């Protein structure tokens, strides 16, 4: 969604900002000046008084954002003691010094550790013992000291992380702005020195078997579309091998599970294609496995000369087939996992002796294991009503698990159970606990979680789950935070979140709704919340809120809504549609200026999202999107209290979307409820990168919610 492009707007914008400072300590709300801007779209003359806020390099824009921050700080000065208290609670629920579970890969055990007072985890490894067991006495190797790398920087994040096949070199990518533009670095793990080989804007990478050649994908500097594949010899110059010309597609490179092939995937919202290159032939050519076919989504992996494909051909919720690599066409397919209209096949992992499939049924995950030798299936069972479980196919830092592993590592958690790593013997099905996250002071028995189903206006059943302290009265008086996302077919999970305990411990109920647009009930659930059915996402959220009020979980004056990114679009839409239903709304990095963004193909991610939202260059799609775009549907009426948060360096939803939204909303709203914009001037889409900095942001947001509920302690 979203980047600023060079603009031809007049540079003299100093007069565009009018801020009225009150003589008292409390500031008055900033007033962004209106500057005429027009564009004709499908015969409609569109005006945008705040278009000038896109000019990030203009001092007046930065001054305006700083003024909004100053106003927010002034308006929330009274909750600072509460925010400090919540921060202390959150900090108290984590081990300040913590080490992850060591997991084996190619003769080493990899893990991460963070020390008290540090903002970031660092990566380590130890050589495996003679019996391949973890040896705590083996010398420890520091792979990546993230705190040292982050020193003096407002933001720091590592994305790519790949150790060479001979375990000597580490290729990783890092971002120091929050804009998610990652620079490639290669470290010699024996000497500790960085090699001279580097490249900017790398989004994925994979090693060839020779330990001297990397294959990397680079994104476009303006559109941020991952569109170019390079062969990069260490110490040499990169050679471009492929340019993906279709603007609807992104590409990515990875290594097959057996390590024998490099896989180059091209993907759009509704179509995929895979190309293969033997990993021991770095100077070879990537060959298409199955050519792209509109509407065919498939994902490939390799084992024993066979291609395994998770495909949606004649299988809406996907199935798995296998075929010889030499003849992968559909007529040669052998079905391995059949399609099930009631079960979504989310992914699969291949091992030498086993196939692991991750599924979702009625909004709950399920893991099944196939033993190639015994030719039987085992299902990993969990008794809980609400939970999340996912295979951990890689050691910390994206180091791949051994292909010959016989133990599956599974991460299990629930809203009342902190994360636990389980080792599942794939032959016997026996399990062991590898690691459990320690949450100081936490007593699981004090809380309860439930799965519920709300009936939407068209009769569809929408799943949701609740987290509350035991004994909370169902009398309509409980404070309640309702969260949802509902886009891109990205299903939400019932995970553990220590940050919400500061709300729940004070009597609030936390609810997550699985509204249409995600994939919690299969691919059709996504289809019914995208393109010309997108409004189902918004009405589902409203219907869930009405259900919670009707069932006396809460009442409108005690109900706060929260969503981020595409979930921020949800917040803007439902606030326009039913403002009286909510006491407050937190819209995080919200995609609210839908039409201006989607009409500008030069912005990051825009064209690739035509298949999710619609192509506004087509009149029917334009009219439909225009009818729900939050920025375009602000009216003169009362709105709930709102906190809008963003980052100046956001690459997914540009800062100017929430900034413009707040400016316009403030000029139209007829109520006196607070409208606050809080901009992190040194971060991007995910907010602060350091763990303590992130806790401060979360504590402020939770304290703001508590204050709306009248909770001050």
| Positions marked active-site | 565, 650, 685
CB count within 10 Å of CB 709 equals 21
Q: Measure the CA–CA gap between 658 and 664, rounded to whole angstroms.
A: 10
Q: What's the CA dihedral at 262, 266, 267, 268 to 10 degrees?
A: 170
Q: Measure the CA–CA gap between 587 and 507, rounded to whole angstroms.
A: 23
Q: Using alpha carbons, select from 549, 525, 543 the residue that is nearest to residue 458.
A: 543
Q: Measure the CA–CA gap between 469 and 93, rounded to whole angstroms.
A: 17
Q: Measure the CA–CA gap between 443 and 417, rounded to whole angstroms.
A: 10
Q: What does the block give as tokens for 547?
A: 């259900």
Give the angle 529-530-534 at the CA atoms, nearest 5°: 65
Check if the beta carbon of residue 420 is closer than 8 Å to that of residue 427.
no
Check if the beta carbon of residue 529 is closer than 8 Å to that of residue 504.
no
Q: Using alpha carbons, select from 129, 124, 122, 97 the residue that is nearest to residue 111.
A: 124
Q: What does the block give as tokens for 188?
A: 């010699």
Q: Measure the CA–CA gap between 464 and 453, rounded to whole angstroms.
A: 6
Q: Measure the CA–CA gap between 618 and 597, rounded to whole angstroms.
A: 15
Q: What does the block give as tokens for 619?
A: 């009149």
Q: What does the block give as tokens for 607?
A: 């064209």
Check if the beta carbon of residue 575 is closer than 8 Å to that of residue 630.
yes
What order of strands is seen across the sheet that includes strand 480-483?
Answer: 447-455, 461-469, 509-513, 480-483, 559-564, 584-588, 641-647, 675-680
Burial of 630 (0-12, 13-18, 19+ CB in 10 A): buried
3-state secondary structure 212-247: CEEEEEEECCCCCCEEEEEEEECCCCCEEEEECCCC
Q: What per-residue string of b and e applies to 686-707 under the rule 16 or more CB within 10 Å gives b?
A: bbbbbeebbbbbbbbbbbbbbb
Q: 42 in the Ramachandran plot: left (φ > 0), alpha (ψ -120 to 50) or beta?
A: left
Q: Using alpha carbons, select from 575, 545, 544, 537 the residue that is nearest to residue 658.
A: 575
Helix axis angle for 80-92 and 691-708, nearest 10°, is 130
* Contacts (Cβ under 8 Å, ≥6 apart) of 536: 456, 458, 515, 516, 517, 528, 529
Q: Measure the CA–CA gap between 137 and 127, rounded to whole angstroms.
A: 10
């Amino acid at each position: 969604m979203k980047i600023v492009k060079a603009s031809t707007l007049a540079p003299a914008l100093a007069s565009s900002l009018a801020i009225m400072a009150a003589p008292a300590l409390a500031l008055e709300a900033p007033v962004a000046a209106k500057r005429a801007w027009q564009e004709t779209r499908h015969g409609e003359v569109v005006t945008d008084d705040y278009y000038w806020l896109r000019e990030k390099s203009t001092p007046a824009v930065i001054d305006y954002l700083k003024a909004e921050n100053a106003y927010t700080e002034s308006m929330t000065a009274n909750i600072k003691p509460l925010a400090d208290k919540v921060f202390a609670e959150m900090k108290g629920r984590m081990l300040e010094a913590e080490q992850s579970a060591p997991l084996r890969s190619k003769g080493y055990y990899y893990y991460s550790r963070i020390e008290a007072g540090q903002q970031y985890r660092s990566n380590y490894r130890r050589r495996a013992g003679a019996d391949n067991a973890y040896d705590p006495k083996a010398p420890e190797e520091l792979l990546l000291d993230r705190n040292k790398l982050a020193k003096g920087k407002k933001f720091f994040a590592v994305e790519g992380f790949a150790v060479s096949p001979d375990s000597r070199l580490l290729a990783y990518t890092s971002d120091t702005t929050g804009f998610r533009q990652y620079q490639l670095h290669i470290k010699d793990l024996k000497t500790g020195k960085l090699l001279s080989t580097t490249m900017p804007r790398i989004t994925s990478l994979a090693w060839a078997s020779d330990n001297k050649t990397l294959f990397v994908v680079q994104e476009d500097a303006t559109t941020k579309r991952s569109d170019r594949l390079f062969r990069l010899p260490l110490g040499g110059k990169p050679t471009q091998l492929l340019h993906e010309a279709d603007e609807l597609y992104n590409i990515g490179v990875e290594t097959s599970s057996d390590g024998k092939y490099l896989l180059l995937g091209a993907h759009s919202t509704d179509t995929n294609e895979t190309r293969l290159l033997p990993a021991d032939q770095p100077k070879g050519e990537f060959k298409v496995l199955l050519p792209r076919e509109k509407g065919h989504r498939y994902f490939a992996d390799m084992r024993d000369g066979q291609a395994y494909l998770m495909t949606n051909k004649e299988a809406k919720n996907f199935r798995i087939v296998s075929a010889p690599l030499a003849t992968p066409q559909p007529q040669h397919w052998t079905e391995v996992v059949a399609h099930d209209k009631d079960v979504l096949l989310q992914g699969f992992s291949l091992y030498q002796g086993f196939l692991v499939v991750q599924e979702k049924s009625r909004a709950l995950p399920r893991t099944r294991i196939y033993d190639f030798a015994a030719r039987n299936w085992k299902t990993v069972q969990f008794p809980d009503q609400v939970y999340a479980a996912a295979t951990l196919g890689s050691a910390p830092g994206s180091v791949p698990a051994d292909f010959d592993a016989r133990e599956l590592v599974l991460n299990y958690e629930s809203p009342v159970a902190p994360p636990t790593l389980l080792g599942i013997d794939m032959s016997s099905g026996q399990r062991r606990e590898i690691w459990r996250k320690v949450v100081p002071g936490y007593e699981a028995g004090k809380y309860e979680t439930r799965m519920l189903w709300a009936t939407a206006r068209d009769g569809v059943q929408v799943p949701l789950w609740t987290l509350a302290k035991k004994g909370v009265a169902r009398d309509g008086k409980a404070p309640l935070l309702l969260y949802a996302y509902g886009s891109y077919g990205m299903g939400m999970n019932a995970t553990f979140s220590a940050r919400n305990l500061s709300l729940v411990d004070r009597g609030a109920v936390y609810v997550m709704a699985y509204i249409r647009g995600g994939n919690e009930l299969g691919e059709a659930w996504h289809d019914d919340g995208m393109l010309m059915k997108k409004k189902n996402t918004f009405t589902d959220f409203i219907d869930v809120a009405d259900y919670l009020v009707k069932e006396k979980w809460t009442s409108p004056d005690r109900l706060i809504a929260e969503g981020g990114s595409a979930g921020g679009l949800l917040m803007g839409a439902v606030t326009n549609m039913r403002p009286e239903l909510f006491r407050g709304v937190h819209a995080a990095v919200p995609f609210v200026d839908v039409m201006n963004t989607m009409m500008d193909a030069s912005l990051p991610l825009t064209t690739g999202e035509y298949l999710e939202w619609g192509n506004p260059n087509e009149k029917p799609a334009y009219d439909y999107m225009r009818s729900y775009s939050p920025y375009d549907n602000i009216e003169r009426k009362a709105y709930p209290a709102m906190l809008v948060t963003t980052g100046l360096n956001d690459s997914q939803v540009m800062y100017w979307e929430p900034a413009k939204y707040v400016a316009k909303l403030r000029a139209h709203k007829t109520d006196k409820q607070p409208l606050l914009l809080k901009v992190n001037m040194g971060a991007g889409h995910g907010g602060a990168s350091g763990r303590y900095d992130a806790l401060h942001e979360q504590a402020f947001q939770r304290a703001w919610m508590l204050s709306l509920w009248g909770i001050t302690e």
